[in-house]
């Protein structure tokens, strides 16, 4: 993938930012920020959703080894329920940029909105398939979140988190009906809230 977004910024300290996990009924929303090194290119970067799990895992390690700086951050389930998922996603992205060891001079964010921050920044629609740094961030965020959901499958067996990663699949909805919500379910999301109401837990 080659960058096809022309930014107003012409330097090299540009961070790409993306998040994953807006749609699931359970788990954190995870964001990543990456400053790539133009002198140490990474082949095969693309929107994480377009890559196989095996390819993402390889690139995950390569990005961490070759990037000028990278960071992964999150907003937790309680923050999602308190702020709503959009604002929690913005908070996770802000945290990711703020925790970069090398401060960026410019930030490119996937989507059409920017977090509330002081960084010079641009929003890039479909940025994860248009900007290599955003693609790299999407890979770090997705691999991190997927691995966390696989681990949570051991903590909360029976829900299938390792497979659907918290998204509202048929299996997940059936497990929610049979077992009820866990502490990692987002109480503000309709299907979870409905189940809590049925159980008189709200």
The verdict on residue 18 lying in a domain is yes
Interior/surface letters 90-101, b for 16+ CB within 10 angstroms, e for the rest: bbbbbbbbeebe
Beta strand 14-20 pairing with 121-124 = unpaired
Q: 76-84: which pairs have CB atoms within 8 A and are 24 or more residues apart?
A: 76/28, 77/26, 77/27, 77/28, 77/183, 77/184, 77/185, 77/186, 77/187, 80/28, 80/29, 80/186, 80/188, 81/186, 81/187, 81/188, 84/188
The verdict on residue 79 lying in a domain is yes
pLDDT digits (tens, 9 = 90+) for 60-105: 999 999 999 999 999 999 999 999 999 999 999 999 999 999 999 9
The DSSP letter of residue 157 is T
pLDDT at 119: 96
The DSSP letter of residue 185 is B
The verdict on residue 155 lying in a domain is no
pLDDT digits (tens, 9 = 90+) for 102-116: 999 999 999 999 999
pTM of the model as a whole: 0.96
The DSSP letter of residue 31 is E
Range of the domain at 79: 14-146
Domain of 110, CATH number, reads: 3.30.420.10
- Provide the greatest CA pair distance for the chain: 58
Q: How many domains does the chain have?
A: 1
The verdict on residue 156 lying in a domain is no
């Amino acid at each position: 993938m080659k960058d096809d977004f022309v930014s107003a910024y012409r330097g090299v300290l540009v961070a790409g930012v993306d998040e994953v996990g807006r749609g699931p009924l359970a788990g954190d929303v995870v964001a990543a920020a990456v400053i790539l090194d133009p002198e140490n290119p990474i082949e095969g970067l693309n929107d994480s959703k377009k890559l196989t799990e095996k390819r993402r895992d390889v690139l995950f390690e390569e990005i961490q080894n070759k990037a000028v700086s990278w960071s992964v951050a999150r907003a937790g389930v309680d923050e999602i329920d308190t702020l709503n998922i959009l604002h929690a996603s913005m908070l996770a992205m802000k945290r990711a940029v703020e925790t970069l060891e090398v401060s960026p001079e410019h930030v490119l964010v996937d989507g059409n909105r920017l977090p509330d921050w002081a960084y010079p920044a641009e929003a890039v629609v479909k940025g994860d398939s248009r900007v290599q740094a955003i693609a790299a961030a999407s890979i770090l965020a997705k691999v991190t979140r997927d691995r966390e959901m696989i681990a949570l499958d051991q903590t909360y067996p029976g829900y299938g988190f390792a497979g659907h990663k918290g998204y509202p699949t048929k299996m997940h909805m059936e497990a929610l009906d049979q077992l009820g919500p866990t502490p990692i379910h987002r109480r503000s999301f309709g299907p979870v809230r409905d189940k809590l109401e049925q159980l008189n837990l709200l």
